[in-house]
Chains A and B, each alone.
Chain A
Amino acid sequence: MNVIETKQLTKFYGKARGIENVSLSVKEGEIFGFIGPNGAGKSTTIRTLMGLIFPTSGSAEVFGMDILKDGPKIRSEVGYLPSEVFYYDKMRVIDLLKYTAGFYKKDCTVRMHELADLMELDLKRRIEDLSYGNKKKVGIVQGLLHSPKLIVLDEPTSGLDPLMQKKFFDIIEGENKKGATVFFSSHILAEVQALCNRVAIIKDGGIIKLDDIKTLREDNYKKITLRGEGLDPQHFEINGITNMTHSQNGQHELRFFFKGDINLILKQISHETVKDVLIEEPTLEEIFMHYYK
């Protein structure tokens, strides 16, 4: 079953593009990564799903319900953590969490305290006295205290120190194991790589690639580095070679990506006099840069 399904989802802010024809589906129980640089439309997509903004055209369903018609019903099972968190300054942490819990039909007290303990959150302090990182912790607790079936994270880790980030990811993974689906936007690839099953890459408001993390990385792309004397880039004008760089200090060094029949490139390499050959899996980062070219 698809927990999130968007069809040709489009949002224009006046004439400015937010997203255009975004179609994606997130399956139940998976951790879905949503990567792209700032301004690509990650937040626009998420805010549309949360009912904060309204699509110009296209449609989206969460839990099989229409986001425009069943917003409140959908949101009773969704936990949302935005990238920038703002809460009522005058409230104490505990009051805000109780206010949050009041929106849900179930009793959330136990889970609330569990999470607050886990995040080492001081419940008695006022929101306005909290540091950025601590506000973020409040955000995490208020987003998860009702044990949502879908967790939507919009660049969640900014402002958290590495230790807290680890704790946070542990919690998210724990929720996922309990059955929660996670939709996770980020521009930090390592995070996505470590956590997600599938990713969508978004650029200039449109999805440019939607894949398994594994296929995305494998996708037959190899990162090849050759070192040796007399290496000529012109010998490597083969189909499937991209991102060629050629450096020459003392000895020649050629780096490129190759996609295609690996025998072809091996044959070509065997004609050359090389000192060193390196054939690696590209990191997601490199693939990402590749798509963004």
Chain B
Amino acid sequence: MFNVFKYEFKMLRNSLLIWATTYFSIIFMMMVFYPTFSADVAMVDKIMENYPEELLKAFGMSSGLSLATLLGFFSFTFALTQLFIAIQAANYGFSILSVEEREFTADFLMSKPVSRKAILIAKSSAALLGLWLSFLFIWISSYMAMEIFKEGSAYDVSAFNTLIVSTLFFQLFFFSTGLVISVILKKVRSVLSFSLGLAFGMYILNAMRAIVGGEVLGVLTPFYHFEPGRILETGKIHWSMALISISIILISCLTTIVLYTKRDIHSL
């Protein structure tokens, strides 16, 4: 089993480097503008007033925190980062099991003395380790960006940390739903389109919720369950919503185990 884990993790190395670069770029390229924004609070607030309310809502910019505050600006930065986190996690979820069948290497792997469960555990552990390293990297990058660009303004570090830690659930949501969809379907032809679809789908669902108002549309999307604006404002994870995500994660994992251990692997 360790054999498989080692191989799988090795396969992730390049992907992890690319994602690390992506996260670093997003966070720093956004935060670098913060000093300009904070320099003229009044002007920023005025500019924002000129935008239609719906547009601001759709981008999560109409919450209690002003873009001119450090956490307000970071919440906007992190909402975008979340979109990429979702794509990465969904991508791993969709690909790790389906790749063996798409490239017909499942015959090789499964004729070896490993059980399906062991394969599932080894592959998931490798992917989760990858996601966890990405999470650490995001944390460090965000913290560095905050410290470099804060321009002397103090911020609520515990709220900041709470938001970052919520990423772990957020990743799990997209990873496990990716996994379960990949074992429900007979074949995943293009991992990228599936992962973009799931990530953007959830993102747009939350944007629509913001425009329409109310919580109904947000029930299913982790972009709402772990909305950066709210976590930074209240300093707390919105547990009643987060629990929906956690339930979906658990159901997805269990369903994946049941389906994958009984899955027929077809030859060419």
- Which A residues contact B (CB, under 8 angstroms)? 13, 43, 47, 50-54, 71-76, 78, 80, 82-89, 99-100, 102-104, 142
Name B243-268 residues within 8 Å CB distance of A: 262, 264-268
Further 11 A-B residue pairs, CB within 8 A, beyond A51-B110, A54-B262, A72-B118: A13-B264, A47-B265, A71-B115, A72-B115, A80-B107, A83-B267, A86-B105, A86-B107, A86-B108, A88-B105, A103-B3
B111 pairs with A75, CB closer than 8 A: yes
A55 to chain B, nearest CB (A): 10
Cα–Cα, bound, A139→B211 (Å)? 57
**Cβ contact within 8 Å between A52 and B114:** no
Cβ of B112 within 8 Å of any chain A Cβ, yes or no, is yes
Residue of B at shortest CB range from A44? Answer: B267
Assuming A72-B114, A75-B112, A104-B113, is B264 touching A52 (CB within 8 A)?
A: yes
Using known A-B contacts A47-B265, A53-B264, A72-B118, determine if residue A80 contacts B111 with beta carbons closer than 8 Å. yes
Residues of B within 8 A of A103 (CB): 3, 112-114
- CB of B219 within 8 A of chain A? no
B155 at the interface (CB under 8 A from A): no
B238 to A: closest C-beta gap in Å = 43
Could you tell me if B268 and A75 are in contact, using CB atoms closer than 8 angstroms? no
Let me know if B16 is at the binding interface, CB within 8 A: no
Chain B residues in 8 Å Cβ range of A82: 107, 111, 267
Over the window 102-123 of chain B, the binary record of Cβ atoms lying under 8 Å from chain A Cβ atoms (1 yes, 0 no) is: 0111111011111100100000
Contact between B106 and A52 (Cβ–Cβ < 8 Å)? yes
Asked if B239 CB lies within 8 Å of chain A CBs, one says no
Interface presence of B7 (CB below 8 A) = yes
Q: Which residues of B lie under 8 Å from residue A88 when comparing CB positions? A: 103, 105
Whether the Cβ atoms of A99 and B105 lie closer than 8 Å is: no
Given A47-B265, A72-B118, A103-B3, do A52 and B107 touch, yes or no (CB 8 Å)?
yes
CA distance A87 to B112 in the complex (A): 13
Q: Find out whether the CB atom of A87 lies under 8 angstroms from the CB atom of B105.
A: yes
| B112 and A100 contacting across the interface, CB-CB below 8 Å | yes
- Whether A47 contacts B267 in the complex (CB less than 8 A), given A54-B262, A99-B3, A102-B3, comes out as yes
CA distance A143 to B113 in the complex (A): 12
A85 partner residues in chain B, CB cutoff 8 A: 108
Chain A residues, Cβ within 8 Å of B265: 47, 52-53
Tell whether A99 pairs with B7 under 8 Å between CB atoms, given A52-B107, A52-B264: yes
Distance in Å from the Cβ of B123 to the closest Cβ of chain A? 14
Shortest distance in angstroms between A145's beta carbon and chain B's nearest beta carbon?
A: 12
Interface residues of B in 72-126 (CB under 8 A from A): 103-108, 110-115, 118
Bound complex: CA of A78 vs CA of B114, how far in Å? 12
Q: Is B7 within 8 A of A52, CB to CB?
A: no
Please name 24 pairs of A and B residues whose Cβ atoms are closer than 8 Å in the assembled complex, sorted by A. A13-B264, A43-B267, A47-B265, A50-B110, A51-B110, A52-B106, A52-B111, A72-B118, A75-B114, A76-B113, A80-B107, A82-B107, A82-B111, A82-B267, A83-B267, A85-B108, A86-B103, A86-B104, A86-B107, A102-B3, A103-B3, A103-B113, A104-B113, A142-B108
Given A13-B264, A84-B267, A103-B3, A78 contacting B103 (CB threshold 8 A): no
With a CB–CB cut-off of 8 A, which chain B residues contact A80?
107, 111
- Docked Cα-Cα span, A9 to B265, in Å, equals 17
With A86-B103, A99-B3 as given contacts, are A50 and B111 in contact (CB-CB < 8 Å)?
yes
Interface residue from B103, B113, B262 paired with A72 (Cβ < 8 Å): B113
Q: Are A87 and B114 in contact (CB under 8 A)?
A: no
From A52, A71, A89, A102, contact of B103 by CB (8 A) = A89
Smallest CB gap from A53: residue in B: B264
A75 vs B111: C-alpha distance when bound (angstroms)? 6
